[in-house]
């Protein structure tokens, strides 16, 4: 359940990142039509809300609310590392 919360959190944050055209191009290639911003925002919100729900289911209401932020931090860190070091831009 916590793992699910983590994956949903990462998915939500990734959607938020895709709103930025630079990351959209990097992730999906420049020839893919730009995904609708509203769709991405809606998707991100739903994923993050579902992530919070899963966290609360797994850990209990109070602890789950607190732990959710920790899961998001970990997910964001993971996305940050992937984005930085996979792209080879590090050497620029």
Partner 1 sequence: MTLRQTQAVLHTWSGLLVGWALYTIFLAGTVSFWRDEISRWTRPMLGHQTDRALVLDRAQTFLDTNARGAKSWTIELPGDRGAGTLLTWQPQSKAGEKQARRRRRGDHEQWLDERGRPVIVPETRGGDFFYRLHFDLHYIPVLWGRWFVGFCAMMMLVAIVSGVITHKKIFKDFFTFRPGTRQRNWLDGHNATAVLALPFHLMITYTGLITLMTLYMPWGVAANYPSREAFYKDLLPSPQVVGRLEKPAPLANLDRVVAEAERRWNRGHAGIIRITEPGDTAARIQVLRRLSDRIVDGGQAIGFDGATGAWLKGPEPQSGGAVTRDVMIGLHAGRFAPMTMRWLYFLCSLAGTVMVATGLVLWGVKRREKLANPAQAHIGIRLIERFNVGFIAGLPVAMIGFLWANRLIDSAAKGRADLEILAMFLLWAFCILVGLGRPPRQGWITVFALGSLLAAGLALFDQIATPTGLVSSLMQRDIAMAGMEAGFIVVALVFALLARKVARHTPSTRLPRGRHTRMQVSKAGIAVPVE
Per-residue binding letters, 53-72, with partner 1 (x by CB under 8 A): ------x--xx--xx-xxxx
Contact 12, 47 (CB under 8 A): yes
Question: H-helix or E-strand containing 1?
Answer: none
Site for partner 1 in 71-90 (CB under 8 A): 71-74, 76-77, 79-80, 83-84, 89-90
List all residues 6 or more positions away from 87 whose beta carbon is below 8 Å from its beta carbon.
Answer: 26
Binding site for partner 1 (CB under 8 A): 2, 17, 20, 23, 59, 62-63, 66-67, 69-74, 76-77, 79-80, 83-84, 89-92
């Amino acid at each position: 359940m916590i793992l699910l919360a983590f994956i949903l959190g990462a998915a939500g944050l990734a959607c938020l990142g895709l709103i930025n055209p630079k990351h959209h191009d990097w992730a999906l290639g420049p020839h893919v039509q730009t995904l609708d911003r509203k769709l991405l925002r809606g998707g991100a919100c739903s994923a993050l809300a579902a992530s919070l729900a899963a966290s609360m289911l797994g850990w209990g209401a109070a602890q789950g609310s607190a732990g959710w932020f920790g899961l998001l931090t970990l997910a964001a860190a993971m996305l940050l590392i992937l984005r930085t070091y996979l792209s080879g831009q590090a050497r620029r």
